[in-house]
Structure 1
Amino acid sequence: MPELPEVETIRQTLKQLTIGKTIQTVDIYWPKIIQEPDDYHHFIDLIKNQTIHDIRRKGKFLLFDLNQHVLVSHLRMEGKYGVYPQREELMAHTHVVFHFTDGTDLRYRDVRKLGTMHLQERGTELTKKPLLLVAQDPLEADFSLQTFQKKVQKSERNIKNILLDQSVIAGLGNIYVDETLFMAGIHPLTKGLSVTDEQVIQIVEASVATLKDAVKQGGTTIRSYVNSQGQIGMFQQKLNVYGQNDKACRKCEDTIMKIKVNGRGTHYCPSCQPI
């Protein structure tokens, strides 16, 4: 699943390719992707003739700012955007096509058909689902350490699951939670109730450093992630623990372990991250 760095990379790329373009019409081949409004024909009617003025990000969501509406898009497991000439043949698994007045398309592809799109009036997008329950992400300028600390330290869950919860902290998925906990020196099974004030700070600092580095590298290419110009991310070359099981830790040379935490593959160094 694309996490914050991958979505941020896609956002930056799409801004270069689509800002100022006007949507002439839309073709929808898999209506279930359109979550709001309920009738996808109404979605088409509303979005026609609107111009893309900006593209923002909230956690793992892309927000396309239009004239009167905001298109809230979640890529889920394998959603991809690409800009193509309208004359170019559609690729397999293309489910939504935004036709621009300049002769290009913004095309959404999704092998698993799990992505979602909500078209909401501007100014309401943060007050209703799906963004209503999405917490701040650590790269936000006004990220509240105090709010995050309260959510962590009152939880009986393990820290791995806490950090995966988008209502606690947004943008982190399996890859970057493992990398953040390694950098912070915290075992993934540590209970939130046991996390100290100092460790909370370490988690936030580690997440910021990890995410910023990953954004610079264009994200991590695991399975099929590419950005909207078909370029792969390079952060996988800098992963310390994720996918490194049975290899030597870069810090201490102990063997990286892999366990299951609530069904999620979880990687850690037993020496650098003692329970």
Structure 2
Amino acid sequence: MPELPEVETTKTSLLPLLEQTVQHVQVRESRLRWPIPEDLDKLQGQKLLKLTRRSKYILAEFEQDSMLWHLGMSGSFRLCAAEDKLRKHDHLILQFDDIQLRYHDPRRFGCILWLNPETQHKLLDTLGPEPLSESFNAGYLAEKLKNKQTAIKVAIMDNHVVVGVGNIYATESLFNLGIHPAQPASTLNMQQIEQLVQEIKRILKFAIELGGSTLRDYTNAMGENGYFQQTLLAYGRAGEMCVNCETMLENLKLGQRASVFCPQCQPLKKSKTLAVKSSRGRKA
């Protein structure tokens, strides 16, 4: 699933559409996570004024209406010429003045919705702060974690705590700090929390600079791959040697997600409230 750096990179790659007007709308497959609105042709004649990101959503502001776009598990946008060959899973086509925007989604878990009070309340209002904002700081995170016995990796991946810290970036942040992913969140001390906030910000900024991570088929709207995956030290490396101590990296499941860690560099403090089973050699 595209995570925050991939969505931010996608949003940036769509900026050539700003100040262009929608000339034509074609919906080839409306059945996404929620149906594409039947009245999407309202966009015809409207100029795209602004593109922003909130969590993993891209918000598109047109002259009269606004939209909320989410890439889901396998979605992607592509800018191309009208004569370019259509792909099987190109579900939505927006023809702008001199360029075409196509939404491609083989698994159809993404969404293309109007941004109105209903979707604002349902999808955006309960979200935590942006990880790169000043609102996400050590004091805030300490308050959120103080009573949580859930694993720290699960806690920082909770969109009600902070948005956009997906599996890749949570795994790498905890590895770099020597914090076991299953460590109960409330057991982190203030120094660890301060370091965790700083590391999450650092690693997300770095990932954005590298265009995100292309692990399967992710590309931005210009068809360009991300390169952050070339820097991964833990994610996806279960069964390989730790770059720091040469201990074999292990994998455990937390919140139904693979969590790779080094048992030597990331020791789990004893806790009566948490039992964890790990497995050597399984790939994330």
**In structure 1, what is the equivalent of residue 85 of structure 2?**
89
Percent identity reads: 32
Partner Cα separation in structure 1 for residue 99 and residue 115 of structure 2: 24
**Contact 2:149 2:184 (8 Å CA) reproduced:** yes
**In structure 2, what is the equivalent of residue 44 of structure 1?**
41
Residue deviations 1:206-262 (CA, integer Å, cap 9, x gap): 111111111111111111111111111111111010011122222222221112223
Bigger mean CA offset, 136-145 vs 262-271: 136-145
**Contact 1:57 1:63 (8 Å CA) reproduced:** yes
Structure 1 unaligned runs (5+)? Answer: none
Cα distance, 1:125 vs. partner?
A: 8.6
Partner Cα separation in structure 1 for residue 221 and residue 251 of structure 2: 32
Residue 39 to residue 234, structure 1, CA distance change in 2 (3 Å)? closer
TM-score computed with the length of structure 2 as normaliser: 0.88
Return the letter of the residue paired with 1:109: H
1:240 and 2:236 are equivalent in the alignment: no
Query: After the TM superposition, which residues 1-275 of structure 1 pair with which residues of structure 2 at under 5 Å, given as runs?
Result: 1-15=1-15, 17-33=16-32, 35=34, 40-45=37-42, 47-100=43-96, 102-121=97-116, 127-275=120-268
Partner Cα separation in structure 2 for residue 173 and residue 68 of structure 1: 33
Residue deviations 1:158-196 (CA, integer Å, cap 9, x gap): 111112211111111111110011122210111122122
Return the letter of the residue paired with 2:188: V
**Contact 2:55 2:164 (8 Å CA) reproduced:** yes
**Contact 1:156 1:192 (8 Å CA) reproduced:** yes
**Contact 2:37 2:113 (8 Å CA) reproduced:** no
Partner Cα separation in structure 1 for residue 245 and residue 265 of structure 2: 7
Partner Cα separation in structure 1 for residue 63 and residue 80 of structure 2: 23
Residue deviations 1:131-150 (CA, integer Å, cap 9, x gap): 11221121124434433322
**Contact 2:173 2:203 (8 Å CA) reproduced:** yes
Supply the RMSD in Å over aligned alpha carbons: 1.9
Residue 126 to residue 148, structure 1, CA distance change in 2 (3 Å)? farther
Partner Cα separation in structure 2 for residue 68 and residue 135 of structure 1: 28
**Contact 2:137 2:197 (8 Å CA) reproduced:** no
Partner Cα separation in structure 1 for residue 33 and residue 173 of structure 2: 34
**Contact 1:126 1:132 (8 Å CA) reproduced:** no
Partner Cα separation in structure 2 for residue 160 and residue 266 of structure 1: 8
TM-score computed with the length of structure 1 as normaliser: 0.90
Cα distance, 1:20 vs. partner?
A: 1.2
**Contact 2:37 2:114 (8 Å CA) reproduced:** no
Structure 2 unaligned runs (5+)? Answer: 269-284
**Contact 1:254 1:270 (8 Å CA) reproduced:** yes
Cα distance, 1:98 vs. partner?
A: 0.9
Aligned residues: 268
Bigger mean CA offset, 252-261 vs 174-183: 252-261
